[in-house]
């Protein structure tokens, strides 16, 4: 199982636009909408994401505009289905983590199921949207390999599927609302923040570069254009989400 939405990434269509990031607006939306990301994990975690807090965190649903689904902050109730896969990554280098995941490969499917911790360790600084469609309940995640070399792919090194049901229990066209691919930017990359947008009958695809990575966000029909752009503008380091998940697990122990 993998997070190709049927035919893979949609080919660029005849409708394209280029949009620039709006960091100030995005930060305001994220700060207002992501109380659940920080809920119950303590002041230290809150400072990591927001800096020293000045007001209590709140949970707010951000209207996406148009007739599409609304967005909400990632919550602790969202199930990352591959978090139980693999071994701990503490103390391992990115190369060691990549090798650890590759050893689980069947050598046929380039998409290898991987945990949040593994992806965050294999791709330092990689990001994930802090705002997601309000009906998302599950996230699937994989590292993507070049089967000839056993190294991470270039155009796609990781993939995430955002589902409204248990992954692969329903057709992708019904349950998989959003797919995020992460590729490796040429020459290490230094993205300028511009977002290219394409759409066809299956949905909308956004592409942009940031830091060492190139991102492709595919939003199926039903997720509005505004919602798709807002997700792209709400990216935060995946390691933060993995850290918060670990904190929640620790604090829930008797």
The H helix count followed by the E strand count for the chain is 8, 15
Average pLDDT of span 67-81: 84
Paired sense of beta strands 71-73 and 61-62, if any: antiparallel
Under a CB-based contact definition with an 8 Å cutoff, are residues 130 and 235 in contact? Answer: yes
pLDDT higher at 233 or 244: 233
Pick the more confident residue, 95 or 13. 95
pLDDT band at 100 (very low <50, low <70, confident <90, very high): very high
Average pLDDT taken over every residue of the chain: 77
Is residue 81 scored above 80 in pLDDT?
Answer: yes
Structure tokens at 168: 């692969």
User: Does the pLDDT value for residue 80 go beyond 70?
Assistant: yes
- pLDDT tier at 193 (50, 70, 90 boundaries)? low
Least confident of 22-36, 169-183, 185-199, 203-217: 22-36
Is residue 77 over pLDDT 60?
yes
Instruction: State the sign of the Cα–Cα–Cα–Cα dihedral 184, 188, 189, 190.
Output: positive
Looking up tokens 């056993």 gives 150
CA dist 189 and 107 (Å) reads 29
pLDDT digits (tens, 9 = 90+) for 137-170: 999 999 999 999 999 999 999 999 999 999 999 9
* Dihedral sign for Cα atoms in the order 137, 178, 6, 109: negative
pLDDT of 53 strictly over 70 = no
Question: In which band, very low, low, confident or very high, does the pLDDT at 188 lie, cut at 50, 70 and 90?
Answer: low
Q: What percent of the chain has pLDDT over 70?
A: 66
Of the segments 15-24, 47-56, 83-92, 93-102, which one has the largest average pLDDT value?
93-102
**pLDDT at res. 21:** 46
Q: What is the pTM of this model?
A: 0.76
pLDDT greater than 90 at residue 136: yes
Least trusted range by pLDDT, from 38-47, 70-79, 149-158, 161-170: 38-47
Residue with tokens 């956004």: 206
Residue 7, pLDDT above cutoff 80: no
Q: How high is the pLDDT of residue 18?
A: 55
Of the candidates 145, 153, 11, 131, the one whose C-alpha atom is nearest the C-alpha of residue 71 is: 131
In angstroms, rounded to a whole number, what is the distance separating the alpha carbons of residues 244 and 44? 10
Pairwise CA distance, residues 29 & 236, whole Å: 13
């Amino acid at each position: 199982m993998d997070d190709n939405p049927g035919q893979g990434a949609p080919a660029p269509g005849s409708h394209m636009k280029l949009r620039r990031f709006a960091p100030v607006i995005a930060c305001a939306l994220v700060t207002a909408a992501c109380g659940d990301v920080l809920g119950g994990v303590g002041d230290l975690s809150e400072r990591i994401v927001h800096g020293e807090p000045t007001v209590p965190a709140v949970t707010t649903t951000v209207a996406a505009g148009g007739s599409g689904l609304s967005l909400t902050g990632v919550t602790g109730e969202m199930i990352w289905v591959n978090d139980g896969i693999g071994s701990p990554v503490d103390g391992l280098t990115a190369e060691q983590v990549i090798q650890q995941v590759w050893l689980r490969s069947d050598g046929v499917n380039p998409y290898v199921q991987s945990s949040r911790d593994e992806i965050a360790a294999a791709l330092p600084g990689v990001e994930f949207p802090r705002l997601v469609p309000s009906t998302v309940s599950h996230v699937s995640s994989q590292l993507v390999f070049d089967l000839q070399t056993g190294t991470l792919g270039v155009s796609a090194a990781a993939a995430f599927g955002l589902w409204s049901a248990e992954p692969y229990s329903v057709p992708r066209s019904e349950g998989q609302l959003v797919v995020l691919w992460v590729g490796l930017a040429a020459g290490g990359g230094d993205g300028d923040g511009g977002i290219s947008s394409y759409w066809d009958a299956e949905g909308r695809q956004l592409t942009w570069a940031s830091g060492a990575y190139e991102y492709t966000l595919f939003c199926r029909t039903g997720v509005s254009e505004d919602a798709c752009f807002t997700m792209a503008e709400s990216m935060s380091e995946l390691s933060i989400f993995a850290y918060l998940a670990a904190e929640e697990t620790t604090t829930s122990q008797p």
